[in-house]
Amino acid sequence: MIKEKSIAVVGATGAVGLEMIRVLEKRNFPVKSLKLLASARSAGKKLFFRGEEVGVEVLEKDAFRGVDIALFSAGGGISKEFAPGAADAGCVVVDNSSAFRMDPRVPLVVPEVNPGDARKHEGILANPNCTTAITLMGLNPLHRLFGVKRVIASSYQAVSGSGAMAIEELRKQVEAISAGGEAEVSVYPHQIAFNVIPQVDVFLEDGYTKEEMKMQNEGRRILHLPEFRASVTCVRVPVYRSHSVAVTAEFERPVDLAEARRAIEAAPGVRLEDDPGAKKYPMPLATAGEDDCRVGRMRLDCALENAISFWVCGDQLLKGAALNAVQIAELLNAEG
């Protein structure tokens, strides 16, 4: 039974937090009351929800009294500090950080892929990494048909994945270089404007980055495939918003491209945009601000047996973060 809920957004003034507020309004989530929480420096700011001003409050331990669902997007440290207490207070937490993604007690959920896992929560649920979520939106319909074994992928990740300061850094660098000046570097280790950086997150001993291992580690939990393997190269690109991923997926069973296309067309939250002859394929510019992910460039892989290569784009701030969190909240509300 769907009832109105008291909602809190933690990290309300950040890029993802602002999107969470917009998504709650856009999807007409049954909000009885909305509490916006952030750091002390953001306290007192006014944000709009359904045409009314809502003041931002300081995040404190007792902020979750009377709150039904809290959407967290303030970083892993904040989540670890405040989410358990919120859950103990009777609030269900949907966390967008990496703090709980690999905790076996915490469901890791993409609603179009594993909605049933949301029922198993003990007070905290986790959003997957943005690149994982967007990739699985294209991969899962094919997995259901053919049974995925492994993927090789390269991501082209927008600066929105690093937050509002990264978006501003790209804008300022483009302006400075276009005016004949020099780019100032702060958020990233190198200039991002007119460049690509083959590093997202920190490097591990095996040469992969933490970001690159998330698709395999999180994919195993979401798909319920403990043997799933993914070799990924994550690259930051000078795009403001919306990630793209080039995927080659190898399957257990023989693949049929026509069946694969039909599966993508029928899948919720995904649109097939695949007409190379007419120069129609997914692009980040077209998917920015769009709820659905788009899949295109579908073809039988010429190097591997039983494999399909495809290109998927999705808005990192939406399906990669805020939208997925609100969809989880919708699942919780529908389940009562």
Residues catalogued as catalytic: 130, 243
User: HSE (CB half, 13 Å, CA atoms) of 195?
Assistant: 15
What CA–CA distances, in Å, run from 137 to 28, 36, 223, 273, 302?
23, 30, 11, 14, 23
Instruction: Assess contact for 72 and 36: CB atoms under 8 A.
Output: no
- Among 252, 218, 253, CA closest to 232: 218
User: Among candidates 10, 64, 5, 72, which has minimal Cα distance to 39?
Assistant: 10
Token pair recorded at residue 250: 């190898």
CA distance 305 to 138: 19
315: left (phi over 0), alpha (psi -120 to 50) or beta: beta
- Cα separation of 206 and 90, whole Å? 41
- What is the distance of C-alpha 88 from the center of its chain? 26
